[in-house]
Homo-oligomer: A and B are copies of this chain.
């Protein structure tokens, strides 16, 4: 049985495990005050070409979204997001749990179209009754999106400009940021993202770490006493160095980028294989997630050999599934997929 169920089906990059073993006996202070966190922060700032960014580590993606959004919004504000955004649909109400509304926008291929955002904001302030409504206090985007798509530099610049016009922060959820940056279609660098966004996070859980996300506040805008707010949300890790050490490793010798590029190569090969067997894709996605449309009876037989994720029902006879590659995908996994498909789909 091979698995493309998600990009978090395996442990951590071996270099991370090796370093964990090496420092196991070192006495380290808690809560992220150790020298590995410090070193990792410096490396991330350098990678983002932003010397004085403020970096903090959190454990997982939903947690990171809830902490960042709720500590940056004012009481009367909510966060604007695509209706398909992770915060809108797949976090079990984690943002609402913090007392803030998610203001859903229509989307295209998982992305917020800049003009949609501009109209939404203009209409909000045009309405004389807007004091009775949640104020848009932040814009949330994911990059890559939940559909594996990417913003272009032009689009991100446009969103950034709109946010600055309205003086609200632009927040980029980079749970799979490595895969976005290494996509063959990406024209955005980490430095571009740091410059254009007010806050973003670099995902570790899905890109080589056991767990961990690195939040980057790019405009001297880290909320006051952030550590206390993190603790208050039950999100402060006692052995905070566990996160620092992992990011320190991932951002040494470009490991993060290298393993991300590998996942992209695997995804391109997967796309080729899927198409070679006549499978249609829901949309062309340039990152590590692929969404083939599979006839239901074929899907049933496929799942005896390959673990995939249900994505959505296409029609009564077809289902969209998701196959993800990652830093840990092996060429042999793809060869096995090719073989299974050959057997199940006769030419």
Contact residues of A with B, CB < 8 Å? 1-3, 5-6, 8-12, 14, 17, 20-21, 23-30, 59-67, 70-71, 74-76, 78, 89-102, 104, 123, 126-129, 131-135, 205-206, 210-211, 223-225, 227-229, 231-239, 242, 307, 309-310, 313, 328
- Known A5-B29, A76-B225; contact A234-B233, beta-carbon cutoff 8 A: yes
The answer for the CA separation of A134 and B97 in the assembled complex, in Å, is: 11
Contact of A232 among B59, B60, B91, B129 (CB under 8 A): B91
B residues near A224, Cβ cutoff 8 Å: 74, 76
Distance A247 CA – B211 CA, assembled complex (angstroms): 17
Given known pairs A17-B20, A30-B8, A231-B132, the reply for A237 and B211 (CB within 8 Å) is yes
* A99 interface neighbour in B17, B60, B62, B96, Cβ under 8 Å: B96
A-B contact pairs, 6 of them (CB 8 A): A10-B24, A60-B234, A60-B236, A74-B224, A76-B228, A205-B238
Work out how many copies of this chain go into the complex: 4
- Contact yes or no, B101 A96, CB < 8 A: yes
State whether B233 touches A94 (Cβ < 8 A).
yes
When the two chains form their complex, are residues A128 and B310 in contact, meaning their CB atoms are under 8 A apart? Answer: yes
The 9 closest A-B pairs by CB, nearest first: A63-B234, A11-B24, A93-B101, A76-B228, A3-B27, A92-B231, A93-B134, A92-B232, A76-B225
User: Is A238 a contact of B91 with CB atoms below 8 Å?
Assistant: no
A224 to B73: give the CA distance in the assembly, Å. 13
C-alpha spacing A6/B34, complex, angstroms: 14
Report B-chain residues with C-beta under 8 Å of the C-beta of A78: 93, 96
Known: A100-B93, A233-B234. A75 touches B71 (CB 8 A): yes
Q: How far apart sit A316 and B9, CA to CA, in the bound complex (Å)?
A: 53
Residues of B within 8 A of A90 (CB): 129, 132-133
Most buried by B among A17, A20, A310: A20
Query: Could you tell me if A10 and B26 are in contact, using CB atoms closer than 8 angstroms?
Result: yes
Q: Kindly report which residue of chain B lies nearest to residue A25, judged by CB atoms.
A: B10
Residue of B nearest to A78 (CB): B93
Contact (Cβ within 8 A) B24 A92: no
Residues of B within 8 A of A99 (CB): 93, 96-99
Known: A11-B23, A93-B101, A98-B99. 20 other contacts (CB 8 A): A5-B27, A5-B29, A10-B24, A10-B27, A17-B21, A20-B20, A60-B238, A66-B234, A75-B229, A76-B229, A76-B232, A90-B133, A92-B132, A92-B133, A94-B233, A96-B101, A128-B310, A132-B231, A134-B228, A206-B238
Q: Is the pair B67, A234 in contact by a Cβ cutoff of 8 Å?
A: yes
* Cβ distance A279 to chain B, nearest Cβ, rounded Å: 21
CB atoms of A27 and B9 under 8 A apart: yes
- Cα separation A86 to B211 with both chains bound (whole Å): 26
Cβ contact within 8 Å between A94 and B231: yes
> Which of B29, B101, B307 touches A27 (beta carbons < 8 Å)?
B307
